[in-house]
Structures are given as C-alpha cells and as structure tokens.
Structure 1
Amino acid sequence: MHSAQPPLSAFGPGRHLQALDEQHHDPYQNDEKLSGPAVCEKCAAVYESGRWQWALPPADAVAVRCPACRRIADRLAAGYISISGNFAREHQEEIINLIRHAEIREKTEHPMQRIMSFRAEDGRLLIETTDVHLARGIGEALERAYKGDLTFHYNEAAHLLRLHWQR
C-alpha cells in the first residue's frame, strides 16, 4: 500500500525522492518474504520475523545471500553520491568521518544499508551504497552539518538514487 504523496510544494528543486515501498521497487528485495529464518552466507546477517538484522542465527536458518551482499557481488549500487567543491576538498577528512559515522549508525539497525565503495577521483569523493535510503541519509547529514547545495534524482524504474553535494 502506498502512502499519499506530499504536495509538490513540499519538494525543493532537484528533490524528487518519494517515500519508497522497497518490496515493490528494489529488484534485490524478494517479492515474497522468506518462509523461515535465514542467514547470509557472506555477511552473517539474519533474516527473521520479516526483516534482516544482526543477530545469532537460529539453528534452523537456511543459508542464503542477502540483498546487500548480492548488490556488492554484482557491483550494482542503489545509491551514487558525488561530493565536490573547495570546501569539500579542504575538509575531506572531516567529511569522510561524517559519512563513515552515518553508515555505522544506519548499518547497526539496517544491515542492508552499506557503503559499497568510497574513492577520490578528479577532485571529488565518489561513494556507492547498497540502499537509496543510506545515500539520502548521507546527503542530508552533509547538508545539515555543512549547508552547501544538495541535489538528487531518483529513478523509480531502476530503484537508483544519484545525489550530488557541493560546497
């Protein structure tokens, strides 16, 4: 069931990310819930009671590969973040720490939200994430902490978020 859309005036320029029902949008999420407990053979996240979590696997857990590990193996990110500008270059270490803390905070509660890659290229920081919500959370954390210009574009058909922050 989809929630009601907020009025268009609620979105600023370049902000087009809607509330997402991941079960219907993310091709890496199962269409149907797993029938019983499962454990990811790669990262040891546990699927139980309809969600992935960090826990000890039950004895009857089936070995599977979780959606985040499948994305990482396929090298197909859900979120792409680009960070640029003089301020970003001058405060790169501080910004990296903020991003790492945001990932740790999210990944603790939501094991499917992870950074896939993190690199510097042509004076920009480029980050790929396994989940659109983590990408958006990182962008909003940058904007809250340092202001700057945040723009993003969500492609619903591909379940893909491209975000750019600069200052």
Structure 2
Amino acid sequence: MKTRFAGFQPIRPDRLIWGQEYRHDAYKAKHKLPEPTACPVCGAVYHEGRWQWAPRPAQAHEEMCPACHRIHDEFPAGFVTVGGQFFKEHREELLHLVKNEEAKAKAEHPMERIVKIEDQDDGALVTTTGIHLARGIGEALHHAYKGELEFHYNEQENLLRVVWER
C-alpha cells in the first residue's frame, strides 16, 4: 500500500530527468569558451577547460572570469563571520591568517578569492567568490586558534555561511 505525506513524494530513480542542471549558477559559462580566453581584469587564462594562472597567449579571446564577475557584482558565494573577544584583541593577526589562506587557495585555484572584508560591530565579515575558500578560512581559524566553528550550507543557492568565534 502506498502512503503519501502532505506534499511529500519520494524520489524515484526511474523518474529522474537526466541531463538537467542540478543547481543554477549564473556565473558559470553557458557555453564552452574559445581557447585560449583571458580575463581582462585579473589575467587568468581559460585553457583545457578550466581557469588557471598562465602567461597570456597572443590573440587570446577576452572574457571576464567568474571570480572577477562575482567581485564586480558584489555577489559572493561564501560568507565568513569572524567574531568574539579574541578577535577584538587579535584583529590584525586573524585577518593576516585570512589573507594568507586566500593567497594559498588563489595560487592553485584562480576562482577562489576574497570579495571584501567588512568590519562589523562585534567582528568582521569576509565574503568570498567560492564556498571552498570560505570553508578553508573557517577551518584555518579553527585549527590555529580553536574556538567555535559552524557551517551553514544552502544547497539551492550554492551558498556557504561560516561562523567562527572565540
């Protein structure tokens, strides 16, 4: 006997529509970019299907990379809230660690960058172009200084909120 709960129907694998995009990302290219393509803002090069740091090829097509596009639109994918009394006492040291994490991630993955660091009443808000950098910053703070660390992931919006406090 089949039972139904108010508004709930189990997902049946035989009814899944294959080939549809699982989550919508307005910053993902809707078509394959011509190779080579270079970002006129940061200089990243799209080659072999991904953005990477490489010398700009002659005759490269120009198109803004997704990270520069997010920074320009001020539309981050990651939010890291850093707060607490420890932050107030060690602000510069903690923000230095945040910037070092960005440099490490950005060297390998050009699309992982900090959008902005904003001071707040009880701490700082660091916004990032990707969820991986936000997670990395939170984990680095927790590893170095302990404290409380929380992750809140919104799958529909591909958005990560990280809260670190001590």
Task: Give yes or no for TM over 0.5.
Answer: yes
Whether the 8 Å contact between 1:24 and 1:31 is mirrored in structure 2 is no
Q: Secondary structure at the match of 2:28?
A: coil
Deviation readout 1:90-137 (Å, 9 max, x if unpaired)? 111110111111000111111111101012110211111011100000
Question: What is aligned with 1:116?
Answer: 115
Query: Contact 1:40–1:65 at 8 Å: present in 2 too?
Result: yes
CA distance in 2, matches of 1:87, 1:69: 33
Q: Distance in 2 between matches of 1:57 and 1:106?
A: 21
Q: Secondary structure at the match of 2:62?
A: strand
Runs of 4+ in structure 1 displaced over 4 angstroms?
A: none
Q: For residue 90 of structure 2, what is the aligned residue in structure 1?
A: 91
User: Is the CA contact 2:37–2:46 (under 8 Å) kept in the aligned structure 1?
Assistant: yes
> How many residue pairs align between the two structures?
145
Specify the SS of the correspondent of 1:60.
coil
1:126 corresponding residue in structure 2: 125
What is the match of residue 161 of structure 2? 162
Deviation at 1:154, TM superposition (A): 0.9
Larger radius of gyration: 2
Q: Does 1:82 align with 2:74?
A: no
Identity among equivalent positions (%) equals 50
SS in 1 for 2:111: coil
Q: CA separation in 2, counterparts of 1:105 and 1:24? A: 30
TM-score by length of 1: 0.82
Give the match for residue 36 of structure 1. Answer: 35
Following TM superposition, by how much is the alpha carbon of 1:42 offset from its aligned partner in structure 2, in angstroms? 1.1
Alignment RMSD (CA, Å)? 1.5
Deviation at 1:36, TM superposition (A): 1.7
- Give the aligned residue type for 1:161: L
Higher RCO (C-alpha under 8 Å, 6+ residues apart): 1
Counterpart contact for 2:152–2:161, Cα < 8 Å: yes
Residue of structure 2 equivalent to 1:5? none
